[in-house]
Amino acid sequence: MRKLVFIALLLSIGSFGNAQIIKGYLAGGINMAQVDGDEVYGYKKPGANLGLGALVPFGRNWDISLETSYTQKGANQKEQYIADTLNGAYKLKLDYVEIPLMIHYTDKDFVTVGAGASWSKLIRAEEWEHGLQTPTNEGSGTYKPTDISVILDLRMRIYKRLKFNFRYNYSMVKIRTRNFTNVGGGAEWSRHQYNNALTFRLIYIFNEVQSEKARKEIN
C-alpha cells in the first residue's frame, strides 16, 4: 500500500507543475461478484461499492486517480440438492477496504476509459456451506488478509457532473488455496481462488468545470 500511495504522490506532484486543479469525486453502486476456483459459478453475489477519490489532470485528456473504497465481494449459490443435508448451498462474504490507482483517458468529454491496479485489506470474511456457517473469519487465515487486483474502468457522462461507471476487477494473486473432495469420498483436488467482480456505480465529480478551464488555458 505504501508503494501505491508513494507513486500516486509523485504523479500528483508532477501534475501540479502544470497548475491543474484536482477533481474530487464520490462514487456509489453495487458489485456482482464471484470467486474463481471455488466450484461455484456466476456473478451471483451482490454487494456494496462506495468510494471517495481524487482525479489529477495531466496533458490534454488524461487523468490519474487515487481512490479509497469499501467493497463487498464473495460468492453465492442456492441449494442444488433437495433430498440431502449436503444440499450444495454456498455463500461467501468478503469485505475489503480498497485503494485503486488508475490512469484515465477521456474522449470528447463524454467517454472515459481507464486501467490500473488496487491494493485491498480484508476487514470481514464469513462463509456458509450447505446452510451452516463455517469458522472462517478475517483472522482465521483461511483467506489472505490482502488482495492485489487489476482494474479496467469505463465512465460515461449522464448529466453534467454525474457519470455512470462500469468496472471490472480481478485478483492478480490468489486469495486462497482450497482442497475439494467428492461427496461421499473419492477423488480429491486442489484449486487456487481469485476475486472476480463487475461493478456498476454512479460517480459525482467536484471541481470539474474549474479543472477543465485550467487544462484548456495551459494547452
Distance CA 77, CA 196 (A): 15
CA atoms of 27 and 48, how far apart (whole Å): 11
Cα 174 from Cα 37, distance rounded (Å): 10
What burial class does residue 29 get, using C-beta atoms within 10 Å of its C-beta: 0-12 exposed, 13-18 middle, 19+ buried? middle
**DSSP classification of residue 110:** T
Q: How many CA atoms lie within 13 A of 70 on its CB side?
A: 7
Q: Return the pLDDT at 19.
A: 46
> Which pLDDT tens digit goes with each residue over 67-114?
999 999 999 998 877 656 677 789 999 999 999 999 999 998 899 999
What pLDDT, on the 0 to 100 scale, is given for residue 88? 77
36: which residues sit within 8 A by CB, 6+ positions away? 193, 194, 196
Q: Residue 174's beta-bridge partner residues?
A: none
In the numeric block, which cell numbers belong to residue 36? Answer: 474463481
Query: What are residue 125's DSSP bridge partners?
Result: 94
- Predicted local distance difference test score (pLDDT) of residue 128: 93
- Please say whether the structural domain 2-218 has been given the CATH code 2.40.160.20: yes
Are 23 and 208 in contact, with CB atoms under 8 Å apart? yes
User: What CA–CA distance (Å, rounded) separates 66 from 73?
Assistant: 20
- The H or E element containing residue 205 is strand 188-205
Q: What is the pLDDT of residues 91-100, one digit of tens each?
A: 999 999 999 9
SS3 40: coil
What are the average pLDDT values for consecutive 10-residue runs of the chain, which has 219 residues? Answer: 51 47 94 93 96 91 95 92 73 97 94 97 94 90 96 96 97 91 72 96 86 56
Helix (H, G, I), strand (E, B) or coil at 210: helix
Task: Tell me the backbone φ, ψ of residue 101, rounded to 5 degrees.
Answer: -120, 120
For the chain, which residues make up each domain, given as ranges?
2-218
Task: Give me 114's grid cell.
Answer: 481507464
Name the grid cell of 63.
Answer: 487523468
pLDDT at 15: 44
From residue 204, alpha-carbon distances to 70, 107, 157, 178, 198 in Å are: 17, 18, 10, 40, 20
pLDDT at 215: 58
Three-state SS at 89: coil
**Residues making up the chain, counted from first to last:** 219
